[in-house]
């Protein structure tokens, strides 16, 4: 199969979907790999490294005969017009929020495999790009918070007196939240966390954090994602976390609902509770933000609180992020093209979950 690896066009994106190491594995499997020139520069993978691995490096205009096109981010609005009929598009596409894009690919006769739609089941863990990238983002969020905070994280005892440890509060105990807890603890902070899923309490405690329980109201999860919280839950959560919020030096919010705008967890009233000099890293900024005052991609100060609208944090760790993403794609390709030929078996639970459209039919509506 002819596989084309495209250079990312999103502003500020430094990652690449396939690394030279994975190219080598794909070539050994029997595939022909073409890489758009300079696609890996942001992750420190030169054109020469791709050639050494067995790929050919071409301009974008020359990548017109591939059977599969792979990149990380959303395709451009008219991307499907540039691809040959019968080919396969592989990327994160967030089909629930982008029905027009799916419609365009489908009408053009192009199949779409959405990497963000891979089901969160045990068998698919090695293919889960959302988890691999969120893991790095959780780490980066703490480092970003430490950079913006005007105090250190650990307890420090000096001849001039004792410096108390920073207090960190984390909303959301998914992959990113757990990594943020672990990183903040390693840096010596006192960490508290809250989540709509009561079963995450044990995970928080295992990392040395304190879990803030919202008693009497539960939300739970489905398919590896937290369900959307009710107004009753949000009201109870506000009451449970407000004391911790007022004492926190660093707050990290990670709450997302697939296909929906991010829920507001910190409104103006709660923002006013936060102390001057504290920092809020909003990891949900791209989907509207968990804080009502978040501006995506910007750092703003409201009432003495520095609000960071974190956007595409894995790109800031491009080398590791690209390596993990490429391995996720490699594991998927081992499933769908094990002998050099594409086989999309819709009876397979993984393919069933991430194959959005094929053969003129849309399988997953927005």
Q: Would you name the residues annotated as active-site residues?
A: 120, 125, 128, 131, 225
Rounded to the nearest angstrom, the gap between the alpha carbon of residue 131 and the centroid of all alpha carbons in its chain is: 7
CA distances from 67 to 14, 58, 269 (A): 25, 15, 53
Which residue in 331, 287, 329 sits closest to 309, CA to CA? 287
Q: Are strands 156-158 and 161-163 parallel, antiparallel or unpaired?
A: antiparallel
According to DSSP, residue 168 is labeled E
Residue 301, strand partner residues: 306
CA of 63: how far to CAs of 14, 60, 67, 82, 214, in Å? 21, 5, 10, 9, 53
Q: For the sheet containing 299-302, what is the strand order? A: 210-211, 190-194, 167-171, 250-253, 279-282, 305-309, 299-302
Give 84's contacts (C-beta < 8 A, 6+ positions apart).
Answer: 64, 65, 66
Residue 335 structure tokens: 């499933």
CA atoms within 13 A on the CB side of 17: 30
Question: DSSP letter string over 264-330?
Answer: P-B-HHHHTTSPTT-EEEETTGGGT-SBTT--TT-EEEETTEEEEE---GGGGGHHHHHHHHHHHHH
């Amino acid at each position: 199969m002819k596989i084309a690896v495209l250079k990312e066009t999103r502003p500020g994106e430094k990652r690449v979907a396939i690394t030279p190491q994975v190219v080598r594995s794909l070539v050994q499997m029997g595939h022909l790999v073409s890489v758009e020139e300079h696609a890996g520069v942001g992750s420190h993978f030169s054109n020469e490294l791709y050639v050494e691995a067995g790929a050919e490096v071409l301009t974008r205009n020359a990548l017109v005969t591939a059977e599969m096109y792979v990149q990380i981010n959303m395709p451009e609005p008219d991307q499907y017009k540039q691809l040959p009929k019968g080919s396969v598009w592989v990327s994160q596409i967030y089909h629930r929020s982008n029905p027009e894009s799916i419609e365009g690919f489908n009408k053009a006769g192009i199949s779409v495999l959405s990497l963000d739609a891979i089901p969160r089941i045990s068998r698919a863990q090695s293919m889960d790009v959302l988890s691999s990238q969120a893991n790095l983002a959780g780490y980066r969020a703490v480092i970003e918070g430490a950079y913006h905070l005007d105090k250190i994280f650990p307890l420090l005892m000096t001849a001039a007196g004792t410096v108390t440890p920073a207090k960190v509060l984390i909303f959301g105990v998914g992959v990113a939240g757990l990594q943020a807890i672990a990183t903040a603890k390693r840096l010596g902070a006192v960490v508290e966390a809250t989540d709509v899923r009561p079963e995450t309490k044990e995970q928080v405690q295992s990392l040395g954090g304190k879990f803030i329980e919202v008693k009497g109201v539960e939300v739970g999860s489905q398919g590896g994602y937290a369900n959307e919280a009710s107004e009753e839950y949000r009201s109870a959560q506000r009451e449970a976390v407000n004391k911790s919020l007022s004492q926190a030096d660093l707050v990290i919010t990670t709450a997302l609902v697939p296909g929906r705008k991010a829920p507001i967890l910190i409104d103006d009233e709660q923002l006013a509770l936060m102390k001057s000099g504290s920092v809020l890293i909003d990891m949900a900024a791209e989907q509207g933000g968990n804080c009502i005052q978040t501006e995506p991609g910007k750092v703003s100060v409201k009432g003495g609180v520095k609000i960071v609208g974190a956007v595409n944090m894995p790109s800031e760790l491009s080398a590791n992020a690209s390596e993990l993403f490429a391995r996720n794609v490699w594991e998927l390709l081992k499933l769908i093209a094990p002998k050099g030929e594409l086989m999309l078996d819709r009876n397979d639970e993984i393919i069933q979950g991430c194959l959005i459209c094929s053969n003129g039919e849309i399988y997953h509506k927005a």
